[in-house]
Structure 1
Amino acid sequence: MRKITAAFLGLAMAATSLGAAHAATLRMSWWGSDDRHKATQEALKVCGAKFGHTINPEFTGWTGHQEKITTQIAGGTEADIMQINWPWLPIFSKNGDGFADLNQFKDIIDLSQWSAADLEGGTVKGKLNGIPVSTTGRVFFFNKTTFEKAGLKVPTTWDELLADTPIIKEKVGADAYPFEGAALDARMQLTLRVTQKTGKSFIDPDTNKVAWTAAELAEGLKFYKTMVDKGTIMSWKQVAGTGNILLHENPNWADGKIAGTYQWDSVYSKIATPLQKGQELVPVPLLTVADAKTQGVYRKPSMLFAISKHSKEPKAAAQIINCLLNDPEAVTILGASRGIPSSKAALAVLEKEGKIKPEQILAHKLVMDATGPKISPLYEHPRVTEAFDSVFEAYAYGNISADDAAQEIIDSVDDALSGL
């Protein structure tokens, strides 16, 4: 008996020694709000305890975070685990070798919890550079109360939105608008409409060149002007004149005088909370054009978890990533602090515990169910957005024609893409 006890004691000591030998000290970096910082640190403690690892947190706000990561990656001093923005993939990992290939850790990370499309979003040249934490996309939100006040149903097509405009102004007020859009929101709306008409993304992800013709882009620009001329949306100049107030801080949004928007599904709570009592904000399927070739959904990973290619403990880092994204205890702690989870297991946990509002679930479902061509992360590259928006703004102010603006946008964006 003593020999058996001694044998078990020896095995226990060996196991303890083995566990200690594999305990790792890791770093994890991310950006976000105070709520995200608090939840992530708590979840890291839980996950670290499960595997005997220590994870030192490095967190900031959004401003300046990309610049910090750029400096770290250039010097090989980045954290073991990083929260990265999807458009950063072609910047930091043009050929797929900027981060560790997470396919190597499929025995640690339960990749079956993600759809093939989700995993493709984090893949570069066949290498899984990042696991999508959540998937987001643009969706239409309308103030149902405002439309009902005007005796209208929420629109389902662009033509209905235009037709509703004079009725909204008559019934709700001359200063009321059924929709809003300037700057980024206007560009996203234009992109949606032209994608629906052509079936093509703005940038061909295979060639990294603009896929639209000048005539196709010009039609989208002209439709933007139609919405302005009909009073469906405020002009770019009007929006700038009011100080470019953020939608959720705009009193005209709060009282229902601006009755619609095209936003990320993940911002539902932010834009619904300011509405005055009794008003109802509803997500609806993408407005479409006649004979649309696709719904044109703009869907992407909102952010990804990646492992540094310089990490000395990549397996330990993979354990922590799997824990954060799939473990019920960690998932419950994190909640929806990074949006609705892409992991099926995590989503099931949060739905069961009532951690996600029904409207958020519906908005997310609309995004996930909609069709659209593959989009390129280069669409959000700073050089591309600057090339597009500077010309678009000049057109919106009436300083250039639609045809000239379309050609200039294409030439400028292609020039920006050639240098990436």
Structure 2
Amino acid sequence: MTVRIDRRKFLMGTTALVAAGAAGVMPAWAQASSLRLTFWGGQARADRTYGVTDLYKAAKGTDVEGEFLAWNDYWPKLATQTAGGNAPDIIQMDYRYIVEYAKRNAIAPLDEFVGGVLDLSNFDADQLEGGKVDGKLYGISLGANSVAMLINTAAFEEAGIEAPTNAWTYDDLIAIGEAFKTANIRGGMKAIMDGSYSEPMLDNWLRQRGKALYTAEGKLGFDEADAVEWYAMWAKLREAGVCVPAEDQALDTGPLETTMLVSGKAAMIPSNSNQLVGFQAIVQDKLAMVGYPRIAAGVGGGHYRKPSMFFSVAGSSANKEAAAEFLNFFISDPEAVKVLGVERGIPCIAASRDVVAPTLDEQSQIALNFVANLGDLLGPLPPSPPAAAGEISESLLRTLGQEVGFGAKSPEQAGGELITGANDILGRV
């Protein structure tokens, strides 16, 4: 999913988070008889989540008051709440931000509850490790997923060509784009959105080249030549009419409804395997998914099984044990698992997977099979990104992509500025 946060909003949010760390933890306002929960996502995720909170109230008698926002609204609000000591008890957390929030004490370590109200004895080891920072457990993975290319199969049928498979390459993408141009379907639908400022696409492209976004030490894992080549490749795709023009891509403001796939301007968008369910709920055409394109035939390793997201407990929560008990219910109660399906990813407990598999609809089965059968696309889980990764992605990478798209900067200028700007941001942390 493509998202955008303007630099002022993002910096306001991270400034608030820093202030929270400096000021220390303030008392939470939640009462012991209730819990507050916040998460990002669309209505489909909200319906499933609230279905589980209803089950929890019926089973435990505890109210769980939930709130959900679009991704680009979520993080500034959460940072502000954290700074004010009013963060919800249970926080949906992302892999890119978990290090920053943990180091600011904005989320609490959960180790003291493991073996008590939090039973992780049968939890997938790789997913458990993904929620640790400096050896302590700060997040419970809500599912494993992988980046994926979502595809409007009906659009490919109208264009008269076959949809790509996991074997496709960037050269194939050019050929697909030419076919869409020739067919001129749906008022000029393009093959793909502009992926030049998609951090997951850049990450995948770099990993196939034996590089990385970030090293284990929190430094950049690529150089200026890589960045220039990245922007130049997308400039070529843009000029050839393979991807949407900048003025269309600018209409994508974050919510699923504004993405190029839902608005009908592109037949493919980079996303995540768990998001197929949410997209299919608001798109009439049948959707499918494949891996990201390969840089050359036979080259793989760009994908990995990533914790789709976590639930963490706020450092300011007065109800940490109760929150941990809710987390345990969320990931292991059979009825809760049935309600959740795989919308947040493939469950991380074998028993939960066994419970959910027979209940899955077609889209959920597609997601499960995709993650389970990545083959040679699959590489190792990278280290957690540095604390500043969110700012680099939202305030630098995307801005530079837009500026190249609108012709304000050349790929050479943007490539140099990406490296210089990213190093400056990393140096401030």
Give the TM-score category using the shorter length.
0.7 to 0.9
The alpha-carbon deviation at position 287 of structure 1 amounts to: 1.7
**Counterpart in 2 of 1:359?**
366
Which residue matches 1:223? 233
Tell me: CA distance 1:151–1:93, structure 2 relative to 1, closer, same or farther (3 Å): closer
Q: Deviations over 1:2-29 (max 9, x none)?
A: xxxxxxxxxxxxxxxxxxxxxx635232
Q: Is the Cα contact below 8 Å between 1:182 and 1:239 reproduced in 2?
A: no
Give SS of 2:103's match: coil
2:290 is aligned with 1:284: yes
Partner of 2:325: 319
1:159 aligns with 2:171: yes
Answer yes or no: is 1:130 the counterpart of 2:143. Answer: no
Q: Distance in 2 between matches of 1:188 and 1:73?
A: 27
CA distance in 1, matches of 2:312, 2:251: 42
Kindly report the root-mean-square deviation, in angstroms, between the aligned alpha carbons of the 2 structures: 3.5
1:169 to 178, 181, 188: 181
Match of 2:394 in 1: 385
Q: CA deviation at 1:66?
A: 3.5
Higher gyration radius (CA): 1
* Residue 6 of structure 1: aligned partner: none
Match runs of 1:107-256 below 5 Å:
107-108=115-116, 109-147=118-156, 149-152=159-162, 154=164, 156-171=168-183, 175-182=188-195, 184-185=197-198, 187-197=199-209, 199-204=210-215, 206-240=216-250, 245-252=258-265
2:244 alignment partner, SS class: coil
Q: 1:170 to 1:388 in 2, by over 3 A?
A: closer
CA distance in 2, matches of 1:226, 1:202: 22
Aligned to 2:404: 395
Asked if structure 2 preserves the Cα contact closer than 8 Å seen for 1:295 and 1:370, the reply is yes
Q: Does 1:300 align with 2:311?
A: no
Contact 2:151 2:288 in 1 (8 A): yes
Shift of 1:103: 2.8
* Structure 1 position 43 matched with structure 2 position 52: yes
- Is the Cα–Cα contact under 8 Å of residues 341 and 360 in structure 2 kept in the other structure? no
> How many residue pairs were aligned?
386
**In the alignment, is residue 268 of structure 1 matched against residue 273 of structure 2?**
no
Deviations 1:190-241 (A, max 9, x none): 44223312x222122x222211111122111111122123222123245448
From the superposition, tell whether residues 250 and 139 of structure 1 become closer, same or farther in structure 2 (CA, over 3 Å): same
Matches of 1:34 and 1:261, distance apart in 2:
20
Q: Is the 8 A contact 1:101 1:128 kept in 2?
A: yes
Contact 2:152–2:286 at 8 Å: present in 1 too?
yes
* Contact kept in structure 2, 1:192 and 1:296, CA below 8 Å: yes
Counterpart check, 1:99 vs 2:95: no
| Alpha-carbon offset, residue 104 of structure 1 | 2.7
CA deviation digits over 1:279-321, x for unaligned, max 9? 6432123321127764312653332122344555544433221
TM-superposed CA distance for 1:370, in Å, is 2.1
- Measured after TM superposition, the shift of residue 73 of structure 1 is 3.4
1:326 CA displacement: 0.3
- State the TM-score, normalized to the length of structure 2: 0.76
CA distance in 1, matches of 2:297, 2:196: 27
Q: Are 1:152 and 1:164, in contact at CA under 8 Å, matched by a contact in 2?
A: no
Q: Is the 8 Å Cα contact of residues 201 and 375 (structure 1) preserved in structure 2? A: no
Deviates more, 1:339-348 or 1:219-228: 339-348
Q: 3-state SS of the aligned residue for 1:209?
A: coil
Give the secondary-structure state (helix, strand or coil) at the position aligned to 2:277: helix
Whichever residue aligns with residue 99 of structure 2, its letter is P
> Unpaired segments of 5 or more residues in structure 1?
1-23, 253-257
Which of residues 376, 393, 413 is equivalent to 1:404?
A: 413
Q: Which residue identity is paired with 2:275?
A: V
SS at match of 1:218: helix
5+ residue gaps, structure 2, are 1-31
How far apart, in 2, do the equivalents of 1:370 and 1:283 lie?
15
Amino acid at match of 1:223: M
Q: How many percent of aligned residue pairs carry the same amino acid?
A: 23
Report deviation, 1:165.
3.2
Deviation at 1:87, TM superposition (A): 3.0
- Deviation track 1:220-268 (CA, whole Å, cap 9, x = no partner) reads 111112212322212324544899952244244xxxxx43222222222
Query: Counterpart of 2:309 in 1: which secondary structure?
Result: strand
Q: Deviations over 1:88-126 (max 9, x none)?
A: 32332127x543322332213232443222122211111
Cα distance in 2, alignment partners of residues 249 and 136 from structure 1: 21
Structural mapping, 1:17-32, within 5 Å: 25-32=33-40
Alpha-carbon contact 1:119-1:131 (below 8 Å) kept: yes
Which 10-residue stretch deviates more, 122-131 or 210-219?
210-219
How many angstroms apart in 2 are the aligned matches of 1:392 and 1:147?
27
Q: Distance in 1 between matches of 2:341 and 2:424?
A: 42
Which residue, 349, 354, 363 being the options, matches 1:343? 349
Q: Distance in 2 between matches of 1:147 and 1:37?
A: 31
